[in-house]
Every structure is written in structure tokens, then in C-alpha cells.
Structure 1
Amino acid sequence: MGKNSKDKRDVYYRKAKEEGYRARSAYKLLQIDEQFDILSSDVKKVVDLCAAPGSWSQVLSKRMFTGIPEEDRGKKIVAVDLQSMTPIDNIICLKEDITAPSTLAKILALFDNEKTDLVISDGAPDVTGIHDLDEYIQHQLILAALQLGCCILKEGSGKFVVKLFRGKDCDHLYAICRNFFEKVYVAKPRSSRATSSEAFLVGIGFKKPVSDWEPKLDLNKSVQEFFEGVADFSLYNRTGTINQPEFIACGDLAASFDSDATYDIPENFKELDPVQSPKNPAYQKALELKRSGKLKAEGSKE
């Protein structure tokens, strides 16, 4: 999270720092859970994909372990990201690529080859500002998460939550996902800015379209080949109309604050340091040069 004036006037930014979350996105998962009960008491094994900096993993840890005696827990959470993450209580962190078969093998080994109850992902690419391109790249990330989910989710009860960017090509994504879940929704949490195309696809009740299908990750296979013979890519249902998932706004819609608004900073506001400073920021080299006095201001003369 940043520390500029606009950030300070963002209600969810301030709440996250006050409550110890690493990012304001924690409230998106909390509000999705309020609506869909994805963190119900029967959820024992969870995989958090593209997890850094770890706000969703923090929510998982607090919701699944708080107040539960260690000997009665029997729960396990695995967080996966290519970036390093500062450790979180009750979270097993893997610095791995979610598309790699070796990552799937490591997750299954951690779960003693048992299937997982929930797969979540708040991941997104570095946006370019070109919406069609950003939407396409995000959809590829979603499909990568779905492929991994198909390999590890528990049949009948498995749940899936992933960030998406809404756009004209979302229907193709919905057409694929409806093959693998009894119910598919598009959720817009209150804490997600209304001006953003961001939303979250929620799949409830994982199912195999073909009973004897054994999904396997293969870097040499395309998405089309992975789902070949088991997924119906048609946009249309039996009536000839596009089968759109139900769109649900979740979170306290009567709340007195608006995620799109900025508010005056309270007089008693105390500036807090970030809950987690970046471990390997892209500007690391610039920081090192600045500390050594070798960083020159733009336009300055040697």
C-alpha cells in the first residue's frame, strides 16, 4: 500500500493499516465470504494463488485458526507466488510458478495427496492501461488458476474464487467455467471501486464434466488442449441465449463510506508504517544508489 495523500484518505486503506492487513484487498475476500460463506467450518485445505503481499492469506489465517486449539486444527493453507512473501502465521509459502507441474506436485505433497476445499486468487498482471490487452492477460491467469484448481479441488464441494476484469470477452471465460462448477457467480465487493472493471468469479461445487477425466498440467499443452473433450466452449445454452452468471454486489451496501471516495483525514489520524515493506521491490537498485549517495536527480549535472 502506498503512503500518498490519496491513500490516506481512502477508508479501506486506513482500515487495513489499523487492523494489520498488508493491503486493502483483504476486505474484498471478507465481503465475498459474507455473501458466499466460502470459509465455512468444513474448509480444511486452502490454496492461495498469486498470494503476495499476503492480505488474503492473512484473512485465511485469522478466520481458520483464531480460537481453535492447535491439536484440533487439522487445517492447512498454502500460499503460492513468484515473489517472496514475509512469513504469516499458519501459512506455508511457496515461491513457485502456478503453471508449473512441479508446483502442483509440491502442493499435493503438502496435502498428503488429498484434494483441497478452496482455491483463491487475487492475482493480476501489471496493467498496461490498454483494457483489451489487460483483460486478455488476466483471463490467461484465470485459466492457469482454473487448470490447477481442476487438478486439486475436491469434487462436489470444492470452491474457487478468482479476480477478473470485466469486458466484452468475459462470456468465453464464463462458458469454460460453467463446465466445472454447479454454480458460477460474478461478485463485486463493496470495497472494490465501482469505477474499476475488477470483479471476482466465484465457483461453487466443483465437478468433473467427464467422470473418468484425470487432469494433468503439461507446459507443452495449450489451454484448449487441457480442456479438450471435457469442456463445452459454446457461449450459448440450450435456449440459444448466452448463459450469463448471476452478478452479485456483496458487502454492507448500506455502509456510510464509499470505496470510490476520498475523505478528510481525521484530526486524530496517526500515520502508520506499512504492515509489510516490499521484500524485493523493482526500485531496489535505486534505493541502494540513493543510500550510497550515487543517485543523481533527473537533469542534474555530474
Structure 2
Amino acid sequence: MAPLPGVTQLQGDITKAATAHAITAHFQGHHAQLVVCDGAPDVTGLHDLDEYVQAQLLLAALNITTHVLAPGGTLVAKIFRGKDVTLLYAQLNIFFRQVCVTKPRSSRNSSIESFVVCRDYTPPTGYTPTMVNPLLDLSYDGAWQELEGVNRVIVPFLACGDLSAYDSDRTYPLQTADGKKYEYRPPTQPPISPAYTAAVARKRCGEPTAATTTTGEADSEAPGGTEGSTVTQETTHESLQEKELEDLQKMHL
């Protein structure tokens, strides 16, 4: 950037702790009241990819903001809105009491860019700002073991495809306390009961269908001059409802 009158410019990496220390040193140990992030990656034209890269850049900006922003301060940053942007809102709501998205008139309507305004910076009680960077440094397993209290609840953000993190295609042992047995707890809201629940229950139990069959004389003679017979299914709506109710009661028992 070209020099601007009355503006102090610092060049550094926002993922490094040295940059945060240089900013606070400029304020003589105090913290800033406002942080503005207008950075954006090179646009590729692939909206999904651009949104993801921009979200990762914003998370890096949020990380250094926790070092330099005073409690009650404000963060204004550029984002690319998309179908998965609600995750970004949830991450920002952890540190700010009010998060809103706005699109100024100077921004083109055809652009997916917007600006997120985060007000009243209030980090969780006991949170300690850290420069653990899972996007670039893969040797951070030791730092995870040092997290305590609320810092263990706020899960560090991982880059997609990071081999040092959990693999979604594998299973891992439960992290239970020593000598404590795992106790299954049913979900708070079970799945809805589909219309075919009773039919599936009857099939698993090997029971016949609820329909009854009757035989009678055919209205017309079968080929060859002999009387034929037809099989008709006569099932009343009330009997089906009673059978399904019984099956559901058996399943709950």
C-alpha cells in the first residue's frame, strides 16, 4: 500500500503471534476498539471454492482479532455469502453478542460479497487467545493437550483434508473416564414415524398382511365352459388402523 498521512502501516502475517504483539505495542499495551478486515482471496469464479477460502481467511482474521480487540469492541469483515455461511455466523456468535450481515449500496448486486458486523466483543469466560494455526502448521497436537476448561469446548477449526485430524471414514474409541462405563442415552427428538412403520414391523415379525381374502363365484364363466373363481381383498379402514395401533404399541414395548 502507498503511504497515507496519519496512518501507521505494519506488514506482517496475521497468523503469527508477532504481528499481534506489534499491533498492541503500537497502542502501548492497549487494545483496539475497531478491527476492519477487507481482505479477500483471488476470485476463481467458482462460488463454492471462493466462499470456503474467504471463510478460512476470515477465521484467521478472527484469530488475531482476539489478541488485539478490546472487550466491547467491533469487528467488520468481508464475507462471501453462500449456503454454508450459517456455520460462519455460529463461530462469530461465540465471541460477539451481536452479529449481522449487511450489503452496502456500493457493492454490486451480482457479487456474492457482503460485510459482517460483529458488535460487543465478549469472549467466553476463561478463553485464552492462542495462535494455534491448523491451516498451516500440522504439529499442533501438543497444544491441544494443554487446553483446559472452556478452551477445550471451543473446538479448533480444521482445514478440510487435514491428515492429523479425525477421519470421518473411521471409528474411534469413546473418550470415557477411567472405570466409567458407557451409558446409552436415546436421542432427545427421535425420528418421525413414517407411514410404513407398521408394515415393516409385521414383515420383521413374519406376520401375514392385514388384508383378508375371500373366494366366490365368478360373474362370468371361465374359458372352457367351467366356472372360475376370483380372489378379492376386502379390508376395512378401521381394521387397518387397529392393527397398526397394536403394532406400534408392541414396538414401543
Q: Which interval holds the TM-score relative to the shorter structure?
A: 0.5 to 0.7
Partner residue in 2 for 1:108: 24
Partner residue in 2 for 1:143: 59
Candidates 96, 115, 130, aligned match of 1:181: 96
CA apart distance, 1:204? 0.5
Within 5 Å, give how 1:1-302 maps onto structure 2.
85-155=1-71, 157-210=72-125, 212-219=126-133, 220=137, 221=140, 228-230=152-154
CA apart distance, 1:230? 3.5
CA apart distance, 1:105? 1.2
In 1, Cα distance between equivalents of 2:108 and 2:154: 36
In 2, Cα distance between equivalents of 1:232 and 1:126: 26
Structure 1 stretches (4+) deviating beyond 6 angstroms? none
- 228 and 170 in structure 1: CA distance in 2 versus 1, 3 angstrom threshold: farther
1:209/1:230 contact within 8 Å kept? no
In 2, Cα distance between equivalents of 1:116 and 1:229: 27
Higher-RCO chain (CA-CA 8 Å, sequence separation at least 6):
1
Partner residue in 1 for 2:174: none
In 1, Cα distance between equivalents of 2:119 and 2:39: 20
In 1, Cα distance between equivalents of 2:14 and 2:156: 24
Partner residue in 2 for 1:13: none
CA apart distance, 1:218? 3.0
RMSD: 2.3
1:122-167 per-position Cα deviation (integer Å, ceiling 9, x unaligned) = 1100011111111100000000011111111111x20000000000
User: Could you state the TM-score of these two structures normalised by the residue count of structure 2?
Assistant: 0.54
Amino acid at match of 1:104: A
Unmatched tracts of structure 2, length 5 or more:
158-188, 190-253
User: Could you state the TM-score of these two structures normalised by the residue count of structure 1?
Assistant: 0.45
Total equivalences in the alignment: 146
In 1, Cα distance between equivalents of 2:152 and 2:15: 18
- 232 and 100 in structure 1: CA distance in 2 versus 1, 3 angstrom threshold: closer
CA apart distance, 1:170? 0.3
1:180/1:207 contact within 8 Å kept? yes
CA apart distance, 1:228? 4.3
In 2, Cα distance between equivalents of 1:183 and 1:143: 17
In 2, Cα distance between equivalents of 1:139 and 1:132: 11
In 2, Cα distance between equivalents of 1:129 and 1:184: 27
Amino acid at match of 1:190: R
Identity over aligned pairs, percent: 42
Q: SS state of the match for residue 158, structure 1?
A: strand
Whichever of the two has the greater Rg, that structure is 2
1:175-207 per-position Cα deviation (integer Å, ceiling 9, x unaligned) = 100111111000110110111101001000000
